[in-house]
Amino acid sequence: MKSINKDILKLAIPSILANITVPLVGMVDIAVAGHLDASAATMIGGIAIGSMLFDLLYWNFGFLRVGTGGLAAQAYGRGDRKECARILARAVGIALACALVLIAIQWIFVKAAFLVVDSSPEVQALATKYFYIRIWAAPATLSLMALKGWFIGMQDSVSPMATDMTVNGMNVLMSIILSLGFTVGGLHYDGMGFAGVAVGTVVAQYSGLLVALILLLWKYRKNTLSTVALPELRGLFKGDETRRFFVMNADLYVRSLCFIAIYIGFTVISARYGDVLLAVSSILMKLLMIFSYFTDGFAYAGEALTGRYIGAKDSLMVRQTVKWTFVWSMSIALIFMIIYQFAGVPMLHMMTSDAVVIEASREYLPWLLLMPVAGCAAFTWDGIYIGATASKAIRNSMLWAVVGFAAVWFIGILCLNHFMPSSATDPSSAVPSTRYGYIAMHILMAAYFAHLLARTVYLTARYRKVVLAD
């Protein structure tokens, strides 16, 4: 199976290379904010809250990438280039329509968000300013989601890599230049201060879109885009394929809402037990995100190849794709388990210099050894099911994930409240209450692990009936 492994790596490696540039953007934005003026904490808080709002907003539109990728991969496998072009046009059209709606309701969204998000007036003002600037990148951001999914479906992970690296590189460069200014010879620019970070992101998104469009025309104008004449696009949103597109994306939208619910739940619960444990949970999630950047690459490969071979009605190659995608992704999981085991503490020191946070985090390092196993399987299955356009199963797996997360958390905390001495829950008793919080954080980690395990178990059980079904 030399050929299938070559195809997997050909698709996975560019995605991994693009993914590992993502943390750089966040670090640079924080660093820029920290050098703007004396109110660095406020600046950093404004960017952190503003970025979180966009994370929550754009997660709702993840279906543009996911749904487009699966449908395009199957059309590619069938050799139906005309349908590939129609899928792209449909996805980009929906992306632009959604972007216009977001721009129209931006004020309402911000006001509603700050009814839930608690922050100081200064941080809120900066986050609002950041949001109102960056929202104008929505047409580019959502279009890029659709284009990235389509490229992957077309067995092309190099184009998304080039696009992502352009976005991330330009984001870093423009945020620095536009915020801090520069002096080159006789040319001087004072910079925009805080607003420059948001404007830099807008410029980066449109730069990425430009690169994506250039690559699209260069690679696909003759063999794909030219198969559809403009008059044929008038009926783009009619017919069975369109209904399939919207039904699939409705399922994937529910999936996104479940992701958001777990993410918000994890963060809100962590915050209940003090700043130290909130910092601990944030650091552990950051370390797990490093792992996900690698597994996502193989999930994308599984998505592209599964869709391709289902479209070609080659069940043997579907099985081989699933088998070898799991071999590669599980190998990554094993490597990261070894890294977390032997380099976990040094990684904590890289994330923070706060001795209290580091010491508190050490207690939870064993969870980092468990998470890759369940997480790797869950992410890999997601990619395979997306390629199979089995959106109902993906939706159901996330519903079970929410149930698993909630069940473990509520049952665990009820048991803790029952068995812990009453003095332990008394805020006036500092030491016992601290220990209570530490145990509660273990329950939260168990709940997060349970959500990954629930996804894995459900999708494993449904594999033969759903993915291999003819």
pLDDT tens figures, 313-352: 999 999 999 999 999 999 999 999 999 899 888 888 877 7
Per the structure block, which two tokens stand in for 213? 């469009």
For residues 311 and 44, the model is more confident at: 311
Q: Which residue has the tokens 């997060």?
A: 448
Cα 177–Cα 182–Cα 187 angle in degrees, nearest 5: 125
Q: What distance in Å separates the CA atoms of residue 364 and residue 387, rounded to the nearest whole number? A: 35
Q: What distance in Å separates the CA atoms of residue 69 and residue 381, rounded to the nearest whole number? A: 15
What are the residues facing 184 on neighbouring strands? 187
For residues 91 and 354, the model is more confident at: 91
The pLDDT score that the predictor gives to residue 431 is 37
Cα 299–Cα 282–Cα 285 angle in degrees, nearest 5: 20
Q: What distance in Å separates the CA atoms of residue 270 and residue 279, rounded to the nearest whole number? A: 9
Per the structure block, which two tokens stand in for 179? 């915020």
The pLDDT score that the predictor gives to residue 245 is 75
Question: What band does 196 get if pLDDT is binned at 50, 70 and 90?
Answer: confident
What is the CB neighbour count within 10 angstroms for residue 224? 20
Q: Who's near 270: CB < 8 A, 6+ residues apart?
A: 277, 278, 280, 281, 282, 441, 444
Residue type present at position 67: G
Question: What band does 400 get if pLDDT is binned at 50, 70 and 90?
Answer: very high
C-alpha distances in Å from residue 178, one per residue of 17, 32, 43, 166, 269:
27, 10, 15, 17, 37
For residues 193 and 391, the model is more confident at: 391
Question: What band does 428 get if pLDDT is binned at 50, 70 and 90?
Answer: very low
The pLDDT score that the predictor gives to residue 322 is 94
Q: Helices (DSSP H) in 34-120: which residue ranges? A: 40-59, 63-78, 81-104, 106-116
Contact status, residue 358 vs residue 41, Cβ threshold 8 Å: no
C-alpha distances in Å from residue 381, one per residue of 3, 306, 332, 443:
21, 11, 15, 26
Question: What band does 2 get if pLDDT is binned at 50, 70 and 90?
Answer: low
Residue 62 confidence (pLDDT) above 50? yes
Closest CA to 74 of 386, 395, 317, 381: 386
Q: Tell how many helices (H) and how many strands (E) occur in the chain.
A: 17, 2
Closest CA to 52 of 223, 282, 273, 227: 282
Contact status, residue 366 vs residue 432, Cβ threshold 8 Å: no
The region of weakest confidence among 108-117, 373-382, 408-417 is 108-117
Q: What distance in Å separates the CA atoms of residue 307 and residue 11, rounded to the nearest whole number? A: 13
Residue 457 confidence (pLDDT) above 70? yes
The region of weakest confidence among 123-127, 294-298, 461-465 is 123-127
Q: What distance in Å separates the CA atoms of residue 190 and residue 182, rounded to the nearest whole number? A: 7
Helix (H) or strand (E) holding 171: helix 158-180
Residue 193 confidence (pLDDT) above 90? no
- Tell me the average pLDDT of the chain: 85
The pLDDT score that the predictor gives to residue 35 is 64
Contact status, residue 88 vs residue 114, Cβ threshold 8 Å: no
Question: What band does 34 get if pLDDT is binned at 50, 70 and 90?
Answer: low
The pLDDT score that the predictor gives to residue 426 is 47
What is the CB neighbour count within 10 angstroms for residue 444? 25
The pLDDT score that the predictor gives to residue 75 is 93
Q: Summarize pLDDT for 222-268 with one digit per residue, the tens.
A: 989 888 877 666 667 666 666 777 788 888 889 988 988 898 888 77
Length, in residues, of the chain: 470
Q: What distance in Å separates the CA atoms of residue 311 and residue 305, rounded to the nearest whole number? A: 10
For residues 128 and 470, the model is more confident at: 128
Handedness of CA 101, 102, 106, 109 (dihedral sign): positive
Q: Which residue has the tokens 């403009």?
A: 230
Q: What is the reported pTM? A: 0.85
For residues 276 and 73, the model is more confident at: 73
Helix (H) or strand (E) holding 328: helix 315-351
Residue 20 confidence (pLDDT) above 80? no
For residues 435 and 107, the model is more confident at: 107
The pLDDT score that the predictor gives to residue 149 is 93
